Amino acid sequence: MGKNRKTTLLSELGRNKTLLLMISPFVIHLIIFCYVPIWGWVMAFQDYNPIAGITGSPWVGLKHFKALFAEPLFIKVIRNTLAISTIKLVLGTTTSLFLAILLNETRHKYFKSVTQTITSLPHFISWVVTANLVREMLSTDGGMVNDFLMFIHIIDKPVLWLGVQKYFWWIMGWSSVWKEVGWGAIIYLAAMTGIDDQLYEAAKIDGASRIQRIIHVTIPGIKSTFLILLIMNIGYLLSAGYEQMFLLKSGLTQDVAQVFELFAIEWGLNKLRYSFATASGIFASVVSITLITVTNKLSHKLGETALF
C-alpha cells in the first residue's frame, strides 16, 4: 500500500515536471534562509566556536539556558519586553478601535477618506524617521510637547522626556500609537462596513441613541475580527519592536529599553557570546509559539473564532 502511494506521488510529480522545476529553486532558497538558521539552534547547546563550526564545537547541554536565567539583565529584558508590548497592544488596540468607530460614524465621504489616508501615512514611514520626529517633538529646545505644556502652565521648565526611565515605556506606547493608529483602524473599519444596515435601523426604531447603537450593534459586529487580531498579537508579545527602542533609548534609559532582539545583538555580536545569545532567541521563539497556541485554544473553548 505504502509503496503504491509512493509510486502514485512520483508519477503525479512526473506529470507536473514543469511545476516542480518552477518551484524547486525557491524551496532550496527557503530551506537555506529559513530552515538552516533554525537548525542553528543547536549552537545554544554547545560552546559555539565559529572556527570549529557546529560539527566541531563541544556540547554543553543546558549550560547556557541556566546562565540565561541566572543573568539579572535577562530578567530585566523579559520584564521590559512584556511591559512595552503589553502597553503597545492595549493602547494600540483601543485607539485603533476608537478611531474606526469615529470614522464609521462619519457620513462626509471626503472628510472620512482624507482622515483615513493621512492617519495611516505614518505606518509607511521608517522608524528612523519616526524616531527623529519623536525626538524633535519631545526635545527640550523648542519641542512641541514642552512648549505646549509650558504654554498651558502644566510645567514651568522643559522636561527631558526621553531621559526619564518612568516615562520611557509610555513614550514607546504613544509613539507607536501615533505611527499605527490609522493603519490599525482600517481593518476594523472594513469589518464595520460588513455590518448589516438593518441592524442599525432596527436599533433606531427601538429608540437606541447613537452611542447605544455603537455599543450594541457596532462593537458586537466586529467581535470576531477583534479576537483574531488579539490572538495574533499575543503571539507576538515577545517581539516588542526593537528598532523603536534602539533608536529612542539613551544611556539614561538603557535599563528599561533593553528588549530581546537588542539583548541578542549586544551579547551575540558585540560581546561574542554566541551560544548564550542563541539561547535567548530560542526562549523567545518557544514562548511565542506557546502563547499563540494557548490563546487560540482558549478562544476555541469559549466558542469564539480561532485562528487555526
Partner 1 sequence: MREKTSNLIFDSIKNFILVFLLIITLYPFVNLMAISLNDAQDTAKGGITIFPRVFSLASYTTLFKLPELLTGFINSVLRTVIGAVTQVFSCSMIAYVLSRKSFPLRRPLSLLWIFTMYVSGGLIPYYFLMRSLGLLNNFNIYWIPGITSAFAIIVIRTYISGLPESLIEAAKVEGAGEFRIFMQIVLPLAIPVLATMALFAAVDHWNAWVDTWLFNPKKKELTTLQYELMKKLASSNSSKSGKLGAEARRGSGSGGTTPKSIRAAMTMIAAVPIMLVYPFLQRYFVTGLTLGGVKE
Sites for partner 1 among residues 188-217 (CB under 8 A): 190, 209-211
CA distance 127 to 148: 25
Count residues contacting partner 1 (CB under 8 A)?
Answer: 90
**Residue from 86, 115, 224, 305 binding partner 1 (CB under 8 A):** 115
Cell numbers for 248: 529612542
Asked whether position 237 contacts partner 1 by CB under 8 A, the answer is no
The nearer residue to partner 1, 75 or 269, going by C-beta atoms, is: 269
Cell numbers for 18: 514543469
Sites for partner 1 among residues 73-112 (CB under 8 A): 99, 102-103, 105-106, 111
Asked whether position 228 contacts partner 1 by CB under 8 A, the answer is yes
**Residue from 77, 100, 181, 256 binding partner 1 (CB under 8 A):** 181
Unique residue bearing C-alpha cell 502563547: 291
Contact 97, 226 (CB under 8 A): yes
Closest to 73 (Cα-Cα) out of 259, 238, 282, 236 = 259
Angle at 217 (CA atoms; ends 215, 103), nearest 5 degrees: 75
**Residue from 173, 274, 295, 299 binding partner 1 (CB under 8 A):** 274
Q: Which stretch binds partner 1 (CB under 8 A): 56-64, 75-83, 115-123, 296-304?
A: 115-123
Contact 246, 35 (CB under 8 A): no
Cell numbers for 244: 523603536
Q: How far is CA 28 from CA 21, 54, 127, 207, in A?
A: 12, 21, 32, 63
**Residue from 7, 13, 69, 290 binding partner 1 (CB under 8 A):** 13
The nearer residue to partner 1, 90 or 114, going by C-beta atoms, is: 114
Asked whether position 294 contacts partner 1 by CB under 8 A, the answer is no
Q: Which stretch binds partner 1 (CB under 8 A): 55-63, 70-78, 79-87, 262-270?
A: 262-270
The nearer residue to partner 1, 66 or 113, going by C-beta atoms, is: 113
Sign of CA dihedral 254, 258, 263, 269: negative
Q: Cβ 58 to partner 1, closest distance in Å?
A: 17
Closest to 234 (Cα-Cα) out of 290, 302, 183 = 290
CA distance 260 to 223: 32
Asked whether position 173 contacts partner 1 by CB under 8 A, the answer is no
The nearer residue to partner 1, 66 or 117, going by C-beta atoms, is: 117
Sites for partner 1 among residues 37-56 (CB under 8 A): 37-41, 43, 50
